[in-house]
A = this chain, B = another copy of it.
Amino acid sequence: MRNMLPGVGVFGNTPAMRCYIPILKSCGLEVVALWARTMEEAKQMSEELGIPLFTTDVDKVLLDRRVDLVVISCSPHIQAHIAAKALGIGKHVLCSLPSGPRSRDTLPMVHASRYYPRLMSLMCNGLRFLPSVVKMRRLVQESGFVGTVTVCEVNVHYGSSGILGQKQPLKKAGCSPSYSTTAYDWTCDEAMGGGVLNMYGGMVVDVLSHVTGLRATRVQGLVRTYVRQTERVSGIREITSDDFCCFQMELGTDGACATVTLNSQVPGPFMQEITVVGTLGRLTLKGADLYGQKHDRVKEDLLHFDPSSLKDVEALGGGCGTGSANSMTITGDERNIEFTTTASSTSLTPNNPGIVSPILQTMPAPYLKGVVHMLECVRDAFQQVEEKQGWCPEPLADAANFEDCFYVQTVLDSVRTASRNKQSVKVVLTDSEPEPNPFLSTAMRRSTFSLH
């Protein structure tokens, strides 16, 4: 077992990235370089989170000798290109969802991951590593707890705490100054990959296929944008990304189906329920806990309650930064979580003691817990191999790879098409790049034809 863990270079200053960095640090992975779109953003974040190097030059991070692992969470339309380039240079890549506004945007990273199979190329969907989801998958696919899967129901309310901070029609009190300056960014723009369907639908589609082992063959959906202007996005600017969507998927070939509702319009706490029903019973993931009931039982059983979640998150609070300045309190059920800052000044939050609060506003508890578990597995994967560039795939067997990601983005594309055309759409994975010049290719075909 080696002692030296890889150095990390991070791309992006999204709220998700603000979660990843402290967790990476708490896992013992050093974050050595940060890239952001503008120099101000890069400087501010590197100071907040204590990262030595900050830049707006992609290559400066990628070519840094200390960087072995690249973590990407920035505007979706550039993620695939950074990921592909990083793999080409020989760096491991963790990329967050969504990986592109459209499925074809993810193709460069998919192809790169095929060319460099020995490099780590994984999606950062923490939900797959949530212990309840791990157990749910085992119960469905190995123990046959639910029998043959018939119906999946997913219901997510992102709540008024504002998973899309910018999009709340009313001014939010808890917003940190670093976010309030970004009045309009990619999250407001459908063409750049914003919207609940793209940002969170992907996680759900991925988890459903992971848990049930079934992939969507056909989809129909309804995608809507209700809030088009807010206090901070007004005048000639308009939000084009969706804030409500629901869609149905036909799963596999035996008639199973799934219905998914993603709603960022409902005031209230974050709420997520994933139910998988089968011929023998059902499993329900509520927050981070797993419940189950067979058809012949009168009451449901709590199959997994995650007591470790508290420990993990506290470890994160204590481990990242100097001293145990931030602690997270989980009160009552999983949904009510408060971040409390017990000391006024730490290296993590030198100028803004409130910055941890937006982290949990951005990433609900189950997702955050899952990411903690996943990044621990990333650490284990590197620790189990002595060779500097090597890693052991076994701890990360549950992770989504870039092929899974391509499937997910294809499903989301199909949902958008279905909503636009008001009819259901078959899910077809076409993993070749589109012809660069369709006229030319048609002309060529015609000329080839005339030879006969």
Which of these binds chain B: A52-60, A120-128, A202-210, A256-264?
A256-264
Please tell me which one of the listed residues B168, B220, B294, B295 contacts residue A220 in the complex, with CB atoms under 8 A apart: B220
In the assembled complex, the Cα of A222 lies from the Cα of B259 at a distance in Å of 9
Known A267-B282, A277-B266, A423-B422; judge A170-B226 contact (CB<8 A). Answer: no
> How many copies of this chain are found per oligomer?
2
Report yes or no: B282 in contact with A295, Cβ–Cβ below 8 A: no
A44 within 8 A of B: no
Chain B nearest Cβ from A166, distance in angstroms? 15
In A267-320, which residues have CB < 8 Å from any B CB?
Answer: 267-268, 275, 277, 279, 281-282, 293-298, 300
In the assembled complex, the Cα of A263 lies from the Cα of B282 at a distance in Å of 12
Report yes or no: A295 in contact with B244, Cβ–Cβ below 8 A: no
A151 within 8 A of B: yes
Report yes or no: B153 in contact with A261, Cβ–Cβ below 8 A: yes
Known A169-B295, A424-B423; judge A268-B282 contact (CB<8 A). Answer: yes
In A321-335, which residues have CB < 8 Å from any B CB?
Answer: none
Report yes or no: A244 in contact with B168, Cβ–Cβ below 8 A: no
Report yes or no: A263 in contact with B248, Cβ–Cβ below 8 A: no
Report yes or no: B151 in contact with A265, Cβ–Cβ below 8 A: yes
Report yes or no: B263 in contact with A153, Cβ–Cβ below 8 A: yes
- When distances are taken between beta carbons in the complex, the residues of chain B under 8 Å from A265 are 150-151, 277, 282
In the assembled complex, the Cα of A265 lies from the Cα of B151 at a distance in Å of 8
In the assembled complex, the Cα of A217 lies from the Cα of B79 at a distance in Å of 40
Chain A: interface residue total (CB-CB under 8 A): 40
- Bits for A218-239, please: 1 = Cβ < 8 Å to B, else 0: 1010101010000000000000
In the assembled complex, the Cα of A389 lies from the Cα of B80 at a distance in Å of 76
Known A226-B255, A248-B222, A422-B220; judge A268-B151 contact (CB<8 A). Answer: no
Chain B nearest Cβ from A309, distance in angstroms? 23
Please tell me which one of the listed residues B248, B295, B424 contacts residue A267 in the complex, with CB atoms under 8 A apart: B295
Chain B, Cβ-Cβ closest to A275: B266
Please tell me which one of the listed residues B160, B268, B275, B424 contacts residue A422 in the complex, with CB atoms under 8 A apart: B424
Chain B, Cβ-Cβ closest to A153: B261
In the assembled complex, the Cα of A248 lies from the Cα of B418 at a distance in Å of 13
Report yes or no: A267 in contact with B293, Cβ–Cβ below 8 A: yes
A155 within 8 A of B: yes
- When distances are taken between beta carbons in the complex, the residues of chain B under 8 Å from A95 are none
- Bits for A129-143, please: 1 = Cβ < 8 Å to B, else 0: 000000000000000
- When distances are taken between beta carbons in the complex, the residues of chain B under 8 Å from A257 are 222, 224, 244
A246 within 8 A of B: yes
Please tell me which one of the listed residues B226, B298, B422 contacts residue A151 in the complex, with CB atoms under 8 A apart: B226
Report yes or no: B170 in contact with A263, Cβ–Cβ below 8 A: no
Chain B nearest Cβ from A269, distance in angstroms? 8
Report yes or no: B244 in contact with A150, Cβ–Cβ below 8 A: yes
Please tell me which one of the listed residues B218, B261, B422 contacts residue A259 in the complex, with CB atoms under 8 A apart: B261
Chain B, Cβ-Cβ closest to A147: B169
In the assembled complex, the Cα of A282 lies from the Cα of B169 at a distance in Å of 14
Report yes or no: A295 in contact with B160, Cβ–Cβ below 8 A: yes
In the assembled complex, the Cα of A153 lies from the Cα of B294 at a distance in Å of 27
Report yes or no: B295 in contact with A281, Cβ–Cβ below 8 A: no
Report yes or no: B423 in contact with A263, Cβ–Cβ below 8 A: no
Report yes or no: B281 in contact with A267, Cβ–Cβ below 8 A: yes
In the assembled complex, the Cα of A374 lies from the Cα of B116 at a distance in Å of 69
- When distances are taken between beta carbons in the complex, the residues of chain B under 8 Å from A295 are 160, 168-170, 267
Chain B, Cβ-Cβ closest to A218: B422
Known A226-B151, A422-B220; judge A267-B255 contact (CB<8 A). Answer: no
- When distances are taken between beta carbons in the complex, the residues of chain B under 8 Å from A248 are 222, 246
Query: 9 new A-B pairs (CB below 8 Å) besides A151-B226, A226-B255?
Result: A151-B244, A153-B266, A170-B295, A222-B259, A246-B248, A266-B275, A267-B300, A268-B293, A423-B424
Ranked nearest first, the 4 interchain pairs of A and B with the lowest CB-CB distance are A423-B423, A422-B424, A246-B259, A267-B293
12 cross-chain CB contacts under 8 A: A151-B224, A151-B226, A153-B261, A153-B263, A170-B295, A222-B248, A226-B255, A246-B248, A259-B261, A267-B282, A268-B293, A268-B300
